[in-house]
Structure 1
Amino acid sequence: MDKQIIFEDEQIRVIFLKGSSEELIFSFGDLITRAKGLNINAEKSLHKFNFNVIGIMPKQKSWFPESSILAMLDSIQAVIAPFTKRIAYGGSMGAYAAIKYSNVFNVQRVVAMVPQYSINPDDVEDTRYNMFYQPELNGNMKVKPEDVSADCEYIIIFDPYYAADRVHVEHLKPVLPHAHLLHLPYTDHDAIAVLASSELVHDFLLHPFEDSYFYKKMRQVKKNSKFYYRKVIENLLPRHRSALGHILKTNALALDGQFFDAKQKQVLLRELFSNKQVDQQDLAKLGIEVNMPQEKRNLLQDRFGHGLVFNIISQKVESYAKGAIALNHKFLIPIYAKGNGLVQINWNDQPYLVTMNDRQMMKLLELHDDLSIGMHPLIMKKYADYYVISYKALNLSTDEFGAVDFIESLDEYSKFISQPEKA
């Protein structure tokens, strides 16, 4: 890659990337992509198509002062003179410069993503950038009619719902009445990250302007942009809660665990849980791992090696071999060892008490329902080496065929041991 610094002062560094194109691209950096070595804004995309590029990279947060740009222009005339086809490209601070100096550079097209009109608080109140305004460097910085050209084509991409950027575009409209405005809703100030695509950069620079064409290309890029979905989710949640569920169900997202910060994850989870939209697959799409603690479930086993269950069909407590329980898990609901307390089962994700009357007729009861007359919950008692299930003064006992009886004594047939379910 043939690159060299062709101008530098305290404010900017200018790098020439030699290519094979007829066009010369002026690529302006932004607050994030400031001067670092020989790096150029959008270098990967521009180099892919062998563009000749003048990379103008800011060294300070000073919005490309006019004094530096004019000094640069005087210094690099020999490099840029052979190129009659010129295009300016940039985002945010770089987009401002691409517009502001379009006439000076004699460009035929400007591609400006979320540009500023000015950071002078007397021109535009913008708490994001007013702090960087320096009268000695930016004294007359707003975009004026003499800065632009009616013969130049201006393409401005911005989020019409993001007030902080929209105010700059509204100030630019009277100066650029012929500008093409492309809307990128719900992305705030992050158009550059959302539309990161070499093919789209190429089209922005060279393809004849047509609204429908560019919106189609932008949609294609957005669909493959994780960053886009992040911004949409952030923006839609406060206003359209159901939209999150729709996004998750209809898009094959695969975000990594660092995609959302802790605060964003908290907001997402709150909305998902509030709307009962969440499942583990949805969380995985959002890059949220769920390390569910594995419940230690121990089956009560009788002296014949059978597991104690509640048979939904017979409405009885019985014992079965583990293989039979596994094959008939919809009907044979295991009774797990859970310490001292009432005997419960979990059926269709709903907890039930197992109750019985003096005629040994059993019935399941939802936890908050009232007991019928004569019905009493079975009691699970935990001893040092075994469990016992009791009804009043009687203890549950099993035989080798899995039948259950309640007896007054406490023998080996009424003692149950705790065994891991998968043992």
Structure 2
Amino acid sequence: MSEARTLFDDGGVRVRAVDGHGSDVVVVTFAPWQRQQNVAAEGFGETFLASSGIDAIHVTCARNDWYQAEAMAAVIPTITAALEGQSRRRVGYGSSMGGFAALTFSAALGLDSVIALSPQYSVDRALVSFETRWAEDLEALRWRYPMTAGPGERATWNLLYDPFSADARHVDLIRALRPVTEFRLPFSGHPSGDFLKQTRLLSKMVLTLLRNDAEPARFRPAVRCRRRRSAAYWRQLARVLAGRQNLPAAMRALTQAVTLAPGHLDYRYAQGQLAMKLRDYTMAVGSFEAAVAGSPTTAQYYYNLARALRAAGKPEPALEAVRQAILLNPREEYSGLLQRLVRDNGERGSASAS
């Protein structure tokens, strides 16, 4: 029977122990980057670990501050004190931002191993000038705890990532700090955990790595065998193929992703964007309509639907769509499209009158 105890909570960072199982391993997890953070949310992998009878300490946060808050100066000693005197194996576990934290604080926490899914080396532009995905997080961020400050040598760093994504450049920088064990998951995208869930390999790999270090080759056959059942795999493959300007092949891959996950709006939206490049405006309209139906408050979806409708020769529905986009978000780009559509309609009207 698991027990939950709050060890630290200042409103910005919370630390909870979910234990009582008496497991031979204790896991310290860090919440990943999320569009909407919630310091009171369940910890990363909490249900899975508890159901597996594994004791854990979970760190959650109120915003995507990449665990650079001043409170971390108190959080780390709090966790260390909770682990003091225990001889069992200590493992850090996190994805993306959480993977960064698990690696960065592994030495301070005295961890034996870290399982880092799609870990980021940093979001500090002074250190990763190529990285643009997390730009909004930098506005009020003071980089207090860089990974370079104390990588240590004790813990085994297991990095599970897609070598065909931007994460590969982060792994290059992490590898330069100290030895790592790399589990390459081609076309798994970011975060690679979604791919592993879809292939039903995540729990197997994590449970194996929690209790023992393992060689990457052990899992390669299963990854290759199951990857085609993953929508994330086909989406990332489509992204890579599109980057290589093989648009027809990219569309085939993306269509497979949509087939496997028809309710995934990002996939439908991406399909619409690719269809526009291929000048398949009928498909583009259908894809953007599906995106709008799934998220009727997203202005960008309406804007691109309007673009597709205009290209498909349907000016009146296009006007309606772009006006809805402007109601939701009065961006200059959207107003520009409205003006072009009004002009187009006026020119059509003049041509009809003559």
The TM-score normalised by the length of structure 1 is 0.56
Distance 1:68 1:52, change over 3 A: same
Where does residue 148 of structure 1 map in the other structure? 151
Where does residue 128 of structure 2 map in the other structure? 124
Distance 1:207 1:261, change over 3 A: same
The residue matched to 2:53 in structure 1 has which SS?
coil
Q: 1:219-253: CA deviations, max 9, x gaps?
A: 45534422322332333245345646876999995
Moved over 6 A (4+): 248-252, 270-274
Where does residue 94 of structure 2 map in the other structure? 90
Amino acid of the structure 2 residue aligned with 1:171: L
Q: Give the alignment's Cα RMSD to 1 decimal.
A: 3.4
Checking the alignment, whether the CA contact within 8 Å between 1:31 and 1:61 is kept in structure 2 is: yes
1:384-403 equivalences in 2 (<5 Å):
none
Q: CA deviation at 1:216?
A: 3.0
Where does residue 181 of structure 2 map in the other structure? 180
Q: CA deviation at 1:51?
A: 1.0
Structure 1 unaligned segments of length 5 or more: list them.
Answer: 289-423
Checking the alignment, whether the CA contact within 8 Å between 1:13 and 1:58 is kept in structure 2 is: yes
Q: Which has the higher helix share?
A: 2
Same amino acid, percent of matched pairs: 21
1:373-388 equivalences in 2 (<5 Å):
none
Where does residue 300 of structure 2 map in the other structure? none
Inter-partner Cα distance in structure 2 for 1:247 and 1:127: 25
Q: CA deviation at 1:147?
A: 1.4
The residue matched to 1:132 in structure 2 has which SS?
helix
Amino acid of the structure 1 residue aligned with 2:111: V
Rg comparison, structure with higher value = 1
Distance 1:242 1:210, change over 3 A: farther
Checking the alignment, whether the CA contact within 8 Å between 2:258 and 2:268 is kept in structure 1 is: no
Where does residue 25 of structure 2 map in the other structure? 23
Amino acid of the structure 2 residue aligned with 1:17: V
Q: 1:6-63: CA deviations, max 9, x gaps?
A: 1112431111111331111011111218434350112232223111111111222211
The residue matched to 2:71 in structure 1 has which SS?
helix
1:353-364 equivalences in 2 (<5 Å):
none
The residue matched to 1:64 in structure 2 has which SS?
coil
Amino acid of the structure 1 residue aligned with 2:236: K
The answer to whether structure 1 residue 216 and structure 2 residue 221 are counterparts is yes
Per mean C-alpha deviation after superposition, the further-off stretch among 251-260 and 44-53 is 251-260
Inter-partner Cα distance in structure 2 for 1:104 and 1:234: 38
Which of residues 169, 189, 203 in structure 1 aligns to 2:208?
203
1:54-133 equivalences in 2 (<5 Å):
54-65=57-68, 67-84=70-87, 85-125=89-129, 126-133=131-138
Structure 2 unaligned segments of length 5 or more: list them.
Answer: 292-354
Q: CA deviation at 1:128?
A: 2.3
Which of residues 272, 277, 286 in structure 2 aligns to 1:266?
272
Distance 1:257 1:117, change over 3 A: closer
Distance 1:269 1:138, change over 3 A: closer
Checking the alignment, whether the CA contact within 8 Å between 1:159 and 1:166 is kept in structure 2 is: yes
Q: CA deviation at 1:161?
A: 2.6
Q: CA deviation at 1:212?
A: 1.0
The residue matched to 1:74 in structure 2 has which SS?
helix
Checking the alignment, whether the CA contact within 8 Å between 1:111 and 1:154 is kept in structure 2 is: yes
Q: CA deviation at 1:209?
A: 1.6
The residue matched to 2:29 in structure 1 has which SS?
strand
The residue matched to 1:166 in structure 2 has which SS?
helix
